[in-house]
Amino acid sequence: MDINLNEFKKNLAQFTGSLNHHRFSPLSKSALTDGSKFVADQLQAYWLFDAIASHIDYGNLAKQDLYCSKLSKSDHGYKLEIQDGDYNVLASQSFEYTDFPLDSIEIWTGRADGYHVHYLPTEH
């Protein structure tokens, strides 16, 4: 992936709220805000939102109004942890092979009219 990370981070800072919800898959019960769609498009990271949605929409997680998903670089690729609002890990998943260019990212997920919306912490 050929991306200027400094330019990406500068552009990412502009997302401080979002009025739009973008459905990203007909199979998902989730949507993306403008900021999370920017992440998915620019970093080719729709796989990340699919992974989060698979745990929240179809997993055995306790139903929450808010989830915090953290993707972090680990010794063997990346680790995704989905937490409740009190930092309790509800689910985790490892990704051995990915070209994700950031050391970490945090995505929040909340309920909205019967579906979940994935958004950046700055869009809350």
CATH of the domain at 45: 3.10.450.150
Domain contains 97 = yes
Cα 38 from Cα 97, distance rounded (Å): 22
Q: pLDDT for 52-97, tens place per residue?
A: 999 988 777 778 889 999 999 998 899 999 999 888 999 999 999 8
Structure tokens at 40: 């998915």
Q: How many domains does the chain have?
A: 1
Domain contains 119 = yes
SS3 109: strand
Domain contains 101 = yes
Q: pLDDT for 11-22, tens place per residue?
A: 999 999 888 899
Domain contains 17 = no
Range of the domain at 68: 35-123
Question: What single letter denotes the amino acid at residue 3?
Answer: I
Q: Centre a 10 Å sphere on the Cβ of residue 55 and count the other Cβ atoms it contains.
A: 19
- Ramachandran assignment for 113, one of left (phi > 0), alpha (psi -120 to 50 degrees), beta (any other): left
Domain contains 9 = no
Query: Cβ(93)–Cβ(79) under 8 Å?
Result: yes
Domain contains 105 = yes
Q: pLDDT for 23-52, tens place per residue?
A: 888 777 899 999 999 999 999 999 999 999
Distances from the Cα of 27 to the Cα of 23, 30, 44, 117, angstroms: 10, 9, 19, 14
Which pTM value belongs to this model?
0.90
Domain contains 1 = no
* Structure confidence at residue 65 (pLDDT): 85
